[in-house]
Amino acid sequence: MMGVDKNRQWRLARRPKGMVTEADFTYHEGAVPEPADGHCLVRTLYVSFDPAMRAFLNEGPSYVPAQPVGEVMRAGAVGQIVDSRCAGFDAGSFVVGGFGWQDYAAVPGSAVMKVDARFPLPHYLSVLGGTGLTAYFGLLRVGEPKPGETVVVSGAAGATGSTVVQIARIKGCRTVGIAGGAAKCRWLTDELHVAGAIDYRANALTERLRELCPDGIHVYFDNVGGTVLEAAIRNMALHGRIVVCGMISVYNAEQPQPGPSNLFELVTRRVRMEGFLVGDYAAEFAEGRRELETWLDSGALKAYVDVQAGFENIPRTFLRLFTGRNVGKQVLKLADPPLQR
């Protein structure tokens, strides 16, 4: 084994009240764990940051148990097996799993997925990871876009959003992206080639959507919720579909935030609004990944990744998601692969 001989961790210190802060986490050092029989020891190379992680910090109903206070922060990551006591998992293999905000994780073989590392490692957390699969199944299975339809994406410069925009374009749809700030909107236009980009901070959103979607919105892929969702509902086309993927506008709210006031418009234009979790499509992940890889190979799809570095920067990198700093997938690099293959 090489590299550090201790295991650094960030643990949840307390449940955040309102906006999450660095003080909600505590730094901890301990021994590198020994893998038990059937387990392997993984060195974390890149950790993944997802807005939904903020929701897991709260108690209350969600689709996974709340992150326990005092324990190492749960997080997806890509790593390399440095020691294996698990048949079929060899040292040197690159793996994806919930390794958390720590240098090392000793995990059972059932909790890791080997990746072939044909693409850069962060790809396996972005377009080839949960993010890409979320975009793929959410847009195609829940949104059901048809060629020529208008697909509007909020959080369009984010990890999932930027992938949704690209897949919608691949499928022959017209795309409109909503993001925060002029820089992101320029990026959406120049890099993702959206038909229209809207800065939700600067624009009268309802009116801009009306201008950019004169035939209405056929598919709205929502990562944001709140007033952005309300403006989208106002502009939905007849029989439009709203894919409810995330609601970053409410994750940090201290009080319940009022929902859109215009839900009756779901009736007037017979809109379907559907909540969605990628895990429901687990049986089809391999097929989805294959198509995403094909698009990556052809250049039709790109992975946009914002790579930060430094173990000490993990909590503040998490905060970047909620201050609108990241473009594309937010990851943080902890180490280069420690083992030669």
Which one of 26-34, 116-124, 187-195, 258-266 is the stretch in contact with a second copy (CB under 8 A)? 258-266
Q: Is 172 in the site for a second copy (CB under 8 A)?
A: no
Q: Is 273 in the site for a second copy (CB under 8 A)?
A: yes
Measured distance CA(27)–CA(24) in Å, rounded: 10
Distances (CA, A) of 309 to 80, 126, 276: 17, 17, 32
Residue type, 9: Q
Residues contacting residue 255 through CB under 8 Å, at least 6 positions apart: none
User: Which residue in the set 88, 147, 256, 299 belongs to the binding site for a second copy (CB under 8 A)?
Assistant: 256
Q: Phi and psi at residue 220, in whole multiples of 5°? A: -110, 120
> In angstroms, what is the minimal distance from the CB of 229 to a second copy?
7
Token pair 């909600």: residue: 24
Q: Is 161 in the site for a second copy (CB under 8 A)?
A: no
User: Which residue in the set 33, 181, 195, 265 belongs to the binding site for a second copy (CB under 8 A)?
Assistant: 265
Q: Is 115 in the site for a second copy (CB under 8 A)?
A: no
Nearer to a second copy, 193 or 270 (CB): 270
Q: Is 234 in the site for a second copy (CB under 8 A)?
A: yes
Which one of 79-87, 153-161, 265-273, 327-335 is the stretch in contact with a second copy (CB under 8 A)? 265-273
Handedness of CA 83, 88, 94, 95 (dihedral sign): negative
Q: Is 66 in the site for a second copy (CB under 8 A)?
A: no
Q: Is 270 in the site for a second copy (CB under 8 A)?
A: yes
Q: Is 182 in the site for a second copy (CB under 8 A)?
A: no
Nearer to a second copy, 103 or 230 (CB): 230
Residues contacting residue 195 through CB under 8 Å, at least 6 positions apart: 150, 174, 175, 176, 212
Distances (CA, A) of 210 to 26, 56, 204, 332: 47, 35, 10, 38
Question: Beta strands of 109-146 (E only): which ranges?
Answer: 112-115
> In angstroms, what is the minimal distance from the CB of 131 to a second copy?
15
Rg (CA), the chain: 20
- Determine how β-strand 329-333 pairs with β-strand 112-115: unpaired
User: Which residue in the set 82, 198, 247, 296 belongs to the binding site for a second copy (CB under 8 A)?
Assistant: 247
Q: Are 174 and 196 in contact (CB under 8 A)?
A: no
User: Which residue in the set 59, 144, 274, 312 belongs to the binding site for a second copy (CB under 8 A)?
Assistant: 274
Nearer to a second copy, 270 or 341 (CB): 270
> In angstroms, what is the minimal distance from the CB of 50 to a second copy?
13
Q: Is 333 in the site for a second copy (CB under 8 A)?
A: no
Q: Is 246 in the site for a second copy (CB under 8 A)?
A: yes
Measured distance CA(77)–CA(44) in Å, rounded: 7
Measured distance CA(217)–CA(234) in Å, rounded: 9
Q: Is 284 in the site for a second copy (CB under 8 A)?
A: no
Q: Which neighbouring-strand residues pair with 233?
A: none
Q: Is 271 in the site for a second copy (CB under 8 A)?
A: yes
> In angstroms, what is the minimal distance from the CB of 186 to a second copy?
30
Nearer to a second copy, 190 or 215 (CB): 215
Element (DSSP H or E) covering residue 82: strand 77-84
Q: Is 196 in the site for a second copy (CB under 8 A)?
A: no
Measured distance CA(239)–CA(241) in Å, rounded: 7
> In angstroms, what is the minimal distance from the CB of 129 to a second copy?
19
Please give the residue ranges that form the binding site for a second copy (CB under 8 A): 55, 61-63, 225, 229-230, 234, 244-247, 250, 256-277, 280
